Amino acid sequence: MTSFDITSMASLKKHAGSKLGKALGVVMKGVEPGGIFGDSEWDKNSSRQWTIKVSSDNQKTIEKNVGEKIVGKKLDIILLDKKIRFLQSGLRTAASGVGLPDAKTTEMQENASMWIIKRAINDNKKYTKWQDITKDGKYRELVELYPDVDDVWLKALWAQNNKMYTEYGSSHFSEWSRDKGFMDFITELVKVKHGISRKDNWNPADIWMVNNQTAQENLLKKACEGKHPSIMKLNEVMKKQFKTKKVVGVSLKKISGKVAKWEEVNVDDVVFEGTDYNLEIEKIRMVLTPKSNTDDRFGTQDTVVLIHDKGGSFKFKFQIKNNSGSKPGNQKVEGTIPSAAAARAGKAPQEFIRPLFKEYGMTFQNEWKEYPQSPVEFMKEFDKHYKRFESIHSKVECGIPKTKKAFKAAFLNSWADKSDSVKGIPQDKLMQIHFISDLYKMNKEKMEDCITDLVFLSMKQGPRFGPFGKLY
């Protein structure tokens, strides 16, 4: 039996005992925290091999320390007559700073969250401190779902457990779903009836808590009857299900602090209670200056739009940036609430954003192939692009003067740089200039309406989107 729940060097040494622990400290000198998962079921008095899972980088550090070679994903050594295996972990823990989580890790983390929330609600289980999770009689179930769970994630799970105990501790749900059951049902329903190929573009819930699943699914099917079913009608039915605790979708975000927060989205008609609905631009950063004195690349690839409500109590940040990253591509409009930057709001879905641009009379086309692909093409269309830049120069922080000479030099230098050219960054900047210039062609009221709609789309808020709770 194995249980990889020793997640710190100090705990590992303590479990090993005085002599072996000291030797282990020498062997593992220089390993990074967050990438250690020791088997707590191993007994120092046993002849059984002790397996310690480690990250790839930590395994390489140990390899250098001991002078042995990694074979496959295993590094076996004998230490004070004890057989020890350092096994490369197949997971990456984002919270520990080891890159972004892969799909398998995300699945395990979300299943772990669902388990801890279910313990809070269905089992009425609340932990006094995060360490108490490991003392839970059912802790093995959590480890089976997420074998590489570490201290960082245990703290996050503890925060989730406490918050959901407070919000739903007196409730009970008969069905819980992440990738089957109700999740499969609702994903297929909105795809077939409403043409929404990516469920998260309509409702970003990662898990669902449901009571009487068959009855609730029948109500939702009925809401989608007819040749031209309305997504808003479906949303209204789901709002009632959410409020009566029949169907509750939960969007899991990175915990924003020691205490988790819970926010109900699209459940009530009022979205920004106590503020003016219309939002306005506070500042736009569009860097057109070189990266450095010796580097002609643009300083940044994106354009940042800072927004606030007229009272100043609500702040929002948009990042307009290439969607593909390393090659020419269309622009994504992604939002963040600065007060909770860890819980990114998300991208405004293209299915909704294109009709929105058309609705507001924008000529901006989010099609990178419609923009110059070379400096020659750029110079042929120079006047058109410069005119757009000229119209917004006083409204953006760009770092260059409003002259044709400066504008031309900035883009020709970027195209001359291989890195910028390959990634399509000159096109990105021209697309961003076009987008911002279209915004400022609108009158003040219309522009504020457009920006407000973009915020709603990015936050998945408004009548087009389904109700969900955000745990962050």
Q: Tell me, what's the pLDDT at 326?
A: 81
Question: In a 10 Å sphere around its CB, with 0-12 CB exposed, 13-18 middle and 19+ buried, how is residue 433 labelled?
Answer: buried
pTM, two decimals, is 0.56
Torsion angle defined by CA atoms of residues 347, 350, 352 and 356, in that order, rounded to the nearest 10 degrees = 100
Give the pLDDT band (50/70/90) at residue 212.
very high
Long-range pairs for 218-223: beta carbons < 8 A, 24 or more residues apart: 220/185, 220/186, 220/189, 221/189
* Half-sphere exposure of residue 199: CA atoms within 13 angstroms, side-chain side: 20
Q: How far apart are the first and last CA of the chain?
A: 34
Q: What are the boundaries of each domain within the chain?
A: 4-88, 94-168, 175-252, 279-458
Count of positions (residues) in the chain: 472
The confidence band for 138, taking pLDDT boundaries of 50, 70 and 90, is very high
Residue 312 clears pLDDT 70, i.e. is over it: no
Looking at residues 435-459, what average pLDDT do you find? 88
Query: Residue range 76-101: average pLDDT?
Result: 71
Q: Is residue 206 predicted with pLDDT exceeding 50?
A: yes
Contacts of residue 54, defined as CB under 8 A and 6 or more positions apart, other chains included, come to 31, 35, 36, 37, 62, 86, 87, 88, 89
Q: Are 236 and 224 in contact (CB under 8 A)?
A: no
Mean pLDDT on 310-337: 84
Three-state SS for the chain is CCCEEECCHHHHHHHHCHHHHHHHHHHCCCCCCCCEEEECCCCCCCCCCEEEEECHHHHHHHHHHHCCCCECCEEEEEECCEEEEEEECCCCCHHHCCCCCCHHHHHHHHHHHHHHHHHHHCCCCCCCCHHHHHHCCCHHHHHHHCCCCCHHHHHHHHHHHHHHHHHHCCCCCCEEECCCCHHHHHHHHHHHHHCCCCHHHCCCCCEEEECCHHHHHHHHHHHCCCCCCCHHHHHHHHHHHHHCCCEEEEEECCCCCCCCCEEEECCCCCCCCCCCCCEEEEEEECCCCEEECCEEEECCCCEEEEEEECCCCCEEEEEEEECCCCCCCCEEEEEECHHHCCCCCEECCHHHHHHHHHHCCCCCCCCHHHCCCCHHHHHHCHHHHHHHHHHHHHHCECCCCCCHHHHHHHHHHHHHCHHHHHHCHHHHHHHHHHHHHHHHHCCHHHHHHHHHHHHHHHCCCCCCCCCEEEEC
Split at pLDDT 50, 70, 90, the class of 18 is very high
Q: What is the pLDDT of residue 295?
A: 83
* Mean pLDDT, residues 350-376: 88
- pLDDT of 8 higher than 50: yes
Helix 103-121 with 151-168: angle, nearest 10 deg: 40
| CB contact set of 449 (below 8 Å; sequence gap of 6+) | 278, 360
Q: What is the CA angle 54-60-61, rounded to 5? A: 90
The answer, yes or no, to whether residue 94 has pLDDT greater than 50, is no
- The more confident residue out of 100 and 306 is 306
pLDDT band at 90 (very low <50, low <70, confident <90, very high): low
Distance CA 260, CA 244 (A): 23
Handedness of CA 159, 160, 166, 172 (dihedral sign): negative
Q: What is the pLDDT of residue 454?
A: 85
pLDDT digits (tens, 9 = 90+) for 222-273: 999 888 888 888 998 999 999 999 999 999 998 878 899 999 999 986 444 4
pLDDT band, residue 339 (cuts 50/70/90): low
96 or 389, which is more confident?
A: 389
